[in-house]
Structures are given as C-alpha cells and as structure tokens.
Structure 1
Amino acid sequence: MDQNAAKPLGAVRQFFSGASLLGRGLELVLRSPRLLALGLLPALIAGILYIVALIFLIRFVPDLARFATGFADGWASGLRDLLEVLAGIAIVGVAVLLGMLAFTAVTLAIGDPFYERISELVERRYGGVPDAVEVGFWPSLGRSVIDSIRLITLSIVFGIPLFLLGLVPVAGQIVSPVLGALVGGWLLAVELTGAPFQRRGQRLRDRRRVLRANRPATLGFGVAVFLCFLIPLGAILLMPAAVAGATLLSRRVLGHPTDIVTVQPL
C-alpha cells in the first residue's frame, strides 16, 4: 500500500483504538462494585449541580438569544427570528461544551481521593509506575484546580468562534457540533489524564506535549468520552470508567505496558 494512503488509515485505527480505552476502563471498574460506587458519588453531586445549571440556562436561552442578536432588531421579522433560533442553538451548544469541562473539573476536584485511588489501582494492575511521585492531597488538588482553570479558559476561547460559526445557517449546525466534539474531546482527554501524569512528576505542559504527539488516539478517547457524557446521566455513570480509561491512555502514550500483569480485582 502507498505510504501516503497508509498514514490516514493508521490515524483512523489509532483513533478507534483510543476510543476503545473507554470501554476497557468501564470493564475494569465494573469488576469492583465498591470502587464503582465510590467513584459515582462525586459525579452524582456534580451532576445535580450541572442539571440545575442546565435547567436555569434553558429557561433563559430565549432572552440570551435576543440579547446576542440585538444588532438585528431592524431586520425583517422572519430573518430576525431565524437568527434568534440559530443563536439559541449556538448558545446551548457552547454551554454544553463549557458545562462538560466544568462538570469534569468539579467532579475530579470533589472526588480527587476516589479517582486517584481508581487510577492508582489500574496502574498497579498493569505493572505499576516505577519511581512514582507521591503528591499530597492539597498540592494535588491545587494543581488540578489550576490546570482545570487553564483548560476551561481555553474552552471559552474556542467557544467564541464556535458560537459565531453556529450562526451560519445549515453549515454551522453541521460543522460546529463536529468541531465542538473534537475540541471538547481533546480538552477532556487532557483534563482526565492529570492524575497519571502527576504520578510521574509531569505537569500540564508535559501532558499536552505527549498527548499532542499521539493526537489520533487522544482524540479517539476524548471524543468517545464527550459523546457518552452527552447521554442523559452518562457523565455521572461513566466518570469512573473515564478515569480508568484515561489512565490506560496515559500508560500507552508514555510507552508503559498495557497488558494485565495481575488478575487481582481492583
């Protein structure tokens, strides 16, 4: 096969291989109902806050859409109404992207000890981490909060052009969700792999560099998480699996074994 043709095929295989890590993470946590329950508790708390915020947003979407399209007050009523509808769709889309990342950041902060434990046990099952760096709870929480603020800021920066793109009839409603899933998936992958990289003494800049070098697999995992989080209650139920899958992704991109070493339950 021509090498130029093989490269896209290789990227596609890596993408789906990365996506499959979420399924492997789900399989791992389902084998330990106790850890699964502990992992669900922080997500449930954050999920309640997320749902309340989403209901509040939906209640005020028409007002926000009218405010965002105030420049069109002098336009024909039909065109103005269409623009308001498109603005409402774009606002909800951007809010889902930001809300997904905020939900993940809040859940990881609330459940830091639980998710750290899940990640650590997954590492141990696949051979552990030589010379692992012990990070205390408060330093770990502080780093996670700072990294999450940076990532959410990035999502806002990307969210503005996505909102504007959503105002373009037809094409905007097709391209904007796809780009939103890719951007959201990438940022979710970066956020969820925080604990495994911290365990190796690596910070956000190191994480981004390594994940960027393995972009197809990273996007595959992140987009799979993003899409599953869109399912009602998916973000709550799958958060422990996403943490386990992110640990496997970290091991893969860092060149550590991903073959099971011990069959002991998590």
Structure 2
Amino acid sequence: MTGLIAGGTYPFRALALFLRKPAFLTYLFFPLLLNVVLGIGLYLGIFAPSWQWINTELSDFNAFLAQWEGTLPPWLGFLDEVGAGLGWVFRIALSLGLFLLIGLLLAQFGTLLGAPWYGKLSEKIEQFKTQQMEIVEIGPIQEVRRAVLFELKKLLLLLVVGGTCFIVNTLPGLGSTIATIGGFSLGSTLVCLDFLDSPLERRRLKFRQKLGLIYGTLPATASFGLVSLFLVSIPLLNLITVPLCVASGTLFFCDRIWPKHFKQQTPSASAQN
C-alpha cells in the first residue's frame, strides 16, 4: 500500500526538486519549446477535426432521435431529455478519450524529440541522487537502431494489447469494464516505458528487461503511471508536465529500482561524470 501511494507522488517530487535545484531547469528550455510546437500541431491536427466530427455525428443522432420520438405517444416525451443527456455523456467521453490520445502522443513524440536534453537532465538527476552514474557506451549506429526498435516494440505492444481490448469491449457483460481497465493499464505501461527509459536505456537493457522492471516494481509503477498519464492528458498543462514526468521517472528509478537491481554492480561498465 505504501508503494501504491508513493509511486503517484514522484511527479510532485520532481517539481520540488526543480524548486530546490533551479540549475536543472536549464535542460528544459528546448524540450519545452518542442512540446509547444508539437502540442499545437497535435491539437490542430487531431483535436480540432475530431471535435468537429463529434459535433456533426451527435447533431445527426439528435435529429434522428427527434424524428423517432415524433412517432411515439406523448407520455414517452421524457425520452427527449434522456437522449439529450446521452448525447452529452458521449460528447464528454469522446472528448476525454481525445485528450488521453493526444497526451499519449505528446509523451511519445515529446520524449523522442527531446531525448538529448532529457537524457542529460536524467544523468544529472541520477548523479545527484546516487552520487554515481552508469552508462554502457555503444556506437551511434547501434544507438539509433536501439531507439528505432524500442519505438517499434512499443507500437507492437500498443497494437496487440489495444486490439485485444477493442475486441473484449464488444463482448456483453463485463467486456467494457475489462477493456477499460486494460486500456488504462496499457496507457500506464507506455508512459512508464517513456518516462523511465532514460536511466534504463543508459544501461542498454532489453525491452523485456525494461518491462520486467516496471512490472516488478508494482504497485508503485501503477500509481506512477496513472498519475503521469493523467498529467499528460490535461490540455495545455501537458506541455509542462511531460518534462516534469521525465524527471520524475529518473527520481523513481533512483529510489525504487537502482537500490535493488544496480547499486551493487561493479562500475566496470560505468562512466563517472
């Protein structure tokens, strides 16, 4: 239970760290600039047309419902209010889904494009927290190859688990509930992979090893992932919370993963800065 509560506090611990150590903020200027440009593109390219589509579809639905209600006896007139209420429920649900999708995309592309600055920030935080910092050196070609494979494996995970949730959602009974839980679990896993990746990638871990560490640190990673997912889904505020969650991922690693799995390793493959 302690881990479940503590995991969700790390974004706020990162904020406190920035307030105590303003020098870390120097690594956030270019990532924040990238997030603003990327966020504008995502909101204009995805949210605006999707919101227009939602309004058009709901207007057509309301017109159909009004026409259908005209054939009913007067005592069923309350269905007009029921239909209007359902329309707003669908509107809110679809809007929240759009915010969640844009938040995930902003986290995915924001961390990828801002990787050089986030990586340096993560190094400084790890050195500050652990008084050492491990880097397994590899060539630039291999580093690019690992980055591409990492993104492809995340995409495969999204397609497999997301597709399964979509199929389960069509099942009667508990299908929608199971699919919703699965969807949030998938989103939490993806943001954990993104925000914990800097210290894990410095050690050149395999994708399965990264997943193993994330699932092996439950329930703390569950609350960390869900809080991070919520923060990156808040419109406009997520332009700031993505860098915050990247920093909090390194803090989480230093507190909950490094002591159990890496503290006792010999520094033969480490680079001290």
TM-score normalized with structure 1 length: 0.72
Which residue of 2 is the match for residue 207 of structure 1? 210
Q: Deviation per CA, 1:41-91: give whole Å up to 9, x if none.
A: 2222221122212122111113456899xxx9x976857766655444443
Count, aligned residues? 240
Q: Hey, what's the Cα distance between the residues in 2 that align with 1:28 and 1:211? A: 23
- Alignment partner of 2:250 out of 243, 247, 250: 247
What's 1:109 paired with?
A: 112
Q: Contact (CA 8 Å) 1:22, 1:241: kept in 2 or not? A: yes
Structure 2 partner of 1:150:
156
Q: 198-207 vs 21-30, which deviates more?
A: 21-30
**Residue in structure 1 matched with residue 9 of structure 2 by the alignment:** 20
For residues 27 and 111 of structure 1, the distance between their equivalents in structure 2, rounded to whole angstroms, comes to: 22
Q: Which amino acid aligns with 1:146?
A: L
SS at match of 2:9: helix
Equivalent in the alignment of 1:5: none
Q: Which amino acid aligns with 2:36?
A: L
- Say whether the 8 Å CA contact 1:39–1:239 is kept in structure 2: no
Q: Equivalents in 1 of 2:115, 2:232: separation in Å?
A: 19
* SS of aligned partner of 1:132: coil
* % identical aligned pairs: 19
Amino acid at match of 2:212: R
Of 49, 58, 66, the residue aligned with 1:56 is 49
Structure 2 stretches lacking a partner, 5+ long = 70-78, 264-273
Q: 2:189 aligns with which of 165, 174, 186?
A: 186
Equivalent-residue separation in structure 1 for 2:149 and 2:131 (angstroms): 26
Question: Alpha-carbon deviations, 1:98-135, whole Å to 9, x = none?
Answer: 32221111111211111111111112212333453446
Contact persistence 2:102–2:233 (CA under 8 A): no
Instruction: Name the structure 2 match of 1:38.
Output: 30
TM-score scaled by length of structure 2: 0.70
Equivalent of 1:129 in 121, 130, 133: 133
Aligned-residue RMSD, C-alpha: 3.9
Q: How far apart, CA to CA, are the structure 2 residues paired with 1:131 and 1:117?
A: 12
C-alpha separation in 1, matches of 2:207 and 2:228 = 20
Select which of 125, 128, 145 maps to 1:139: 145
- Is the partner of 1:215 in helix, strand or coil? coil
Q: Cα deviations across residues 130-156 of structure 1 (Å, max 9, x unaligned)?
A: 453446352354234324423543563
Change (3 A) 1:157 1:223: same
2:104/2:187 contact within 8 Å kept: yes
Q: Which moved more, 1:114-123 or 1:138-147?
A: 138-147
Distance (whole Å) between structure 2 residues aligned to residue 28 and residue 154 of structure 1: 37
Aligned equivalents of 2:167, 2:68: Cα separation in 1? 23
- Name the aligned partner's letter for residue 252 of structure 2: L
Please name the residue that 2:233 is paired with. 230
Task: State the alpha-carbon separation in 1 of the partners of residues 160 and 60 from structure 2.
Answer: 24
For residues 189-225 of structure 1, the C-alpha deviation after alignment (integer angstroms, 9 at most, x for no partner) is 1222122211112122111111111121101211221
| Secondary structure in 1 matching 2:133 | coil
